[in-house]
Amino acid sequence: MSAILEIHDVDKHFDISGSFLDQLQLSKGKITRKRTVVKAVNNVTLDIQPGETLSIVGESGCGKSTLARTVMGLYKPNKGTISYRGDRIDHLNSVKMLPYRTKMQMVFQDPYASLNPRMNVRQILEEPVRFHNPDLSRSEIKARVSEVMLQVGVDPVWASNYPHEFSGGQRQRISIARALVVDPEFIAADEPIAALDVSIQAQILNLLMDAQEQRGLTYLFISHDLSVVEHISTRVAVMYLGCICELATAKELFSNPKHPYTQALLSAIPRLGGKIGGHVRLSGDVPTPINLPSGCAFSGRCPHVNERCMQEIPAQLKLESGSVVACHGIEEGRI
């Protein structure tokens, strides 16, 4: 089967040095120009198969949203290519990108910022339908919108209300409705259930899984809730400091985590009735994407670190189980 989406060797960096004058620094009697760059995504290669749910997990700030936004064409990658069903989309201008906008939708992480405060819910949901299906009649559009509102559990009587009149979770459901309403093939969902109580979370996840089954939808799913990730994912990619450190099927990853970071991450999953503080504590400095370590991204905090880890970036290693891991320790058989 050929991939629906191929991400090849992608970098996304942000220059945060400010204006030209801010960049000038006086050092040793000389004026030098200094740039500060956040290396949010580095050398990411990933393919997403049609009909699967590929989840990305990892530390806050490790570049998950940036990767999703780059995939969606909202950021231009500094390096590498992104292809949708074999066609390169990373260098398209907004007009050429239009046909892909119907097929690819994104649910943004921040439901507060992503809804236009001057539009009521009906306008928010009707606009994309009208835009992408100019030949639908008014009543067809209305019917489509009401249907989706019911599916995500937003009572259609609220249609004339504005975003600020809703609770966090209600807004999040409206953003999900907005992605589903245009009937896409691919959805990048960035923390789509973070603000939802578990019963509505269950309702939304069931809805996403049903839609996947019926229409063969493909998801790129970002979530910090690892029990949800375990439940719905086909495969899981673990990111650390902009790099993918492990990629495996959900079953393999949760039953047999390989990378030391994955192991630390899984140990911190809160448990019903558990006690706080039982997790693997990562010692060492919290890493910064501004000064990337020269070797393995995790080397500063890894309990198994050695000289080589600090010098050399580990290559992606394919294991017998089919998992992919980037770790010198595993390659050398030390871990």
217 within 8 A of 232, measured Cβ to Cβ: no
- 60 touching ligand ATP, by CB under 6 A: yes
Interface with other proteins, residue 117, by CB under 8 A: no
Q: Which amino acid is at 296?
A: C
Q: At its nearest, how many Å lie between other proteins and the CB of residue 160? A: 8
Pairing of strands 186-190, 235-240: unpaired
Give the up-direction half-sphere exposure of residue 178: CA atoms within 13 A in the CB hemisphere: 29
By C-beta, is 89 or 262 nearer to other proteins?
262
For ligand ATP, the closer CB: 65 or 262: 65
Alpha carbon distance 133, 166 (integer Å)? 28
User: Which one of the spans 127-135, 176-184, 285-293, 315-323 is the region binding other proteins (CB under 8 A)?
Assistant: 285-293
CB of 127 to other proteins, least distance (A): 23
Contact residue for ligand ATP among 109, 175, 212, 323 (CB under 6 A): 109
Q: Are 179 and 107 in contact (CB under 8 A)?
A: yes
* Torsion of the alpha carbons at 304, 310, 311 and 312, rounded to the nearest 10: 50
- Measure the CA angle with vertex 220, ends 154 and 242; round to 5°: 125
* The binder of ligand ATP chosen from 50, 61, 128, 156 (CB under 6 A): 61
Q: Among ligand ATP, Mg ion, other proteins, none, what binds residue 228 when CB lies within 5 to 8 Å by partner kind?
A: other proteins
Between 232 and 271, how does the x/- string for binding to other proteins read (CB under 8 A)?
A: --------------------------------xx--xxxx
Pick 143 or 150: Cβ nearer other proteins: 150
132 close to 102: Cβ distance less than 8 angstroms: yes
Rg of the chain's alpha carbons, rounded to an integer?
A: 22
Measured in degrees and rounded to the nearest 5, phi and psi for residue 272 equal: -55, 125
Beta bridge partners of residue 189, listed in sequence order: 107, 221
Contacts of 139 (CB under 8 A, 6+ apart): none
Residues 254-283 that bind ligand ATP (CB under 6 A): none
Asked whether position 203 contacts other proteins by CB under 8 A, the answer is yes
The C-alpha atoms of residue 216 and residue 211 are separated, in whole angstroms, by 7
Tell which one of 274, 283, 320, 333 touches other proteins (CB under 8 A): 274
Total chain residues near other proteins (CB under 8 A)? 71
Question: Of the listed pieces 2-10, 62-70, 257-265, 314-322, which binds Mg ion according to CB under 5 A?
Answer: 62-70
What are the structure tokens assigned to 139, written together?
């009543």
Q: Which residues pair with 39 in a beta bridge?
A: 13
Q: How far is the CB of 292 from other proteins (least distance, A)?
A: 11
Print the binding letters for residues 160-189 with ligand ATP: x by CB under 6 A, - otherwise.
Answer: ----xxxxxxx-------------------
Among all residues, whose Cβ is closest to ligand ATP?
A: 169
Binding site for Mg ion (CB under 5 A): 65, 109, 167-168
